Chains A and B, each alone.
Chain A
Amino acid sequence: MRTWGRLLAWAGLMAVLGLLPLLVGWSNLSDPLAIHWGIGGSPDNAWPKNAAALLPISMVAIGLFTTSLFRIESKPTAEAFAMVGLMGGLGFSLMVSLVYLNWDAPTWQEAGAFTWWQLVAVLATGALGAWIGYVLGIRRYPRPETSESVAGPELELGDGETVSWIGGCSVKWPLVLLGGLALVFFLMPGWWKLLGLAFVVLGFLFLWVYVVINSHGLQVRLGGGVPVKRIPLDRIKTVQAIDLEPSQWSGWGYRVVPGGSAVVLRRGDAIQVNMTNDRRFAVTVDDAATGAALLSGLVTRLRSDDSY
């Protein structure tokens, strides 16, 4: 329990923050109060006052459960703090809007209209909450540094021999996920169809990744041969084969995280390159050990050539 104490305290704080607007406005609110607004902005549903108190609490609880408690992990992550911050921020600003619109309304039907700027303010507060949560979390629970100068095994290279490794991996999930989204958008009118097309292209890109390692360094191409990354040998410090966990790179696809980037098509075998500028890059490939060993060998050969 002690390990999770800080995250729970952060969640508790966010829940209390979400309750504050309701407590402040309690005597000025009608019972029941308007809780939901229709597309036109006028209230279309009401809840008893004390049930409204459950809203911020349950939002924070959802944030807590989706990121941490359902996952078997030994420690909380910065993402969990960010998620709780996001839900807490959304909950707080929703409650502020709720109290503001219901303030002194004789009945819930006479509550004020929900406007676009309020929606923007709610989303912005959510983003702010997520950011604060992330900053709090990353300080206490920095990302596991599997990398630094832990170099993997090296492949022996003969003099004058050119050795290349061609690898990659392919997956099916973009077909299902993005194809489904594309279908939804194709059913929509007008310009939304273009968004559908964009999803088809994105889905196609992430069907497979093709990686070449040779004396020029590392090259990564996505589906259709679209080049996305090229790292010359002289910018590489160490290389290792890792067991990539998508949550450590914040998900699937082309990920940019603090201190690095990654092409993530699936969980598991991947090559991680630690660069001389202290950034890292990872790409999921089958038989990562062979590719990583070759890249290590090539980097070592380049360095020993330089030292003559």
Chain B
Amino acid sequence: MLIRLDPRSDKPIYRQISDAVATSIEDGTIDPGERLPSARSLGDALDVNMHTVLRAYSQLEEWGLAEMRRGRGGVVVSSGANLKGMAKQLVGQARRQRLELGELTRLVEEAWN
């Protein structure tokens, strides 16, 4: 799991951490059921305070990606929104229904707005 922290960014550090972990969960680097590193060891690794990591983890919990379990630390509970996989499914479904790409993108645009 790669975590980039930019102290000059407007984004607070805890949010940079939770975003990076979420990305790792969503791209499959960390699978559901896997444990997250303990807040202390991740804090050591990133040179940040343990409480910053805990804050990032509670953000992940809020997003429904991880769960904090007493005595076991953080556990990944969802693979998140795997947009790539969902897009593939969507395209597959559209092909079966003989939709043109243009019609599909129009549908997406409609939903977007």
Output the least CB separation between A233 and chain B (Å): 14
User: At the interface with chain A, which of B42-50, B60-68, B78-86, B103-111?
Assistant: B42-50
Output the least CB separation between B97 and chain A (Å): 37
Say which size band chain B's interface belongs to: 10 to 19
Output the least CB separation between B9 and chain A (Å): 9
Residue A109 lies at the interface, judged by CB distance under 8 Å to chain B: no
Q: What is the number of residues of chain A that contact chain B, defined by CB distance less than 8 Å?
A: 19
B3 nearest CB neighbor, chain A only:
A164
- Which residue in B2, B7, B45, B46 is a CB contact (below 8 Å) of A160? B7
Given contacts A162-B46, A166-B1, A210 and B41 within 8 Å (CB-CB) = yes
- Which residue in A161, A164, A210, A215 is a CB contact (below 8 Å) of B6? A161
B45 nearest CB neighbor, chain A only:
A212
Q: Evaluate contact between B5 and A162: CB separation under 8 angstroms.
A: yes
Q: Evaluate contact between B29 and A164: CB separation under 8 angstroms.
A: no
A215 nearest CB neighbor, chain B only:
B47
Output the least CB separation between A228 and chain B (Å): 15
Output the least CB separation between A37 and chain B (Å): 54
A residues less than 8 Å from B1 (CB atoms): 165-167
B residues less than 8 Å from A294 (CB atoms): 2
Residue A257 lies at the interface, judged by CB distance under 8 Å to chain B: no
Residue B4 lies at the interface, judged by CB distance under 8 Å to chain A: yes
Q: Evaluate contact between B45 and A166: CB separation under 8 angstroms.
A: yes
Given contacts A166-B37, A225-B41, A214 and B46 within 8 Å (CB-CB) = yes
Residue B8 lies at the interface, judged by CB distance under 8 Å to chain A: yes
In angstroms, Cα B44 to Cα A219, docked, is: 11
B9 nearest CB neighbor, chain A only:
A161
B21 nearest CB neighbor, chain A only:
A166
A residues less than 8 Å from B44 (CB atoms): 212
Residues of A within 8 A of B (CB): 155, 158, 160-167, 210, 212, 214-215, 219, 225, 287, 290, 294
Residues of B within 8 A of A (CB): 1-8, 29, 37, 41-42, 44-47
Besides A155-B2, A166-B3, A166-B45, 19 other A-B contacts (C-beta < 8 A): A160-B7, A161-B4, A161-B5, A162-B5, A162-B7, A162-B46, A163-B4, A164-B3, A164-B5, A164-B45, A164-B46, A164-B47, A165-B1, A166-B42, A167-B1, A212-B41, A212-B45, A219-B45, A290-B29
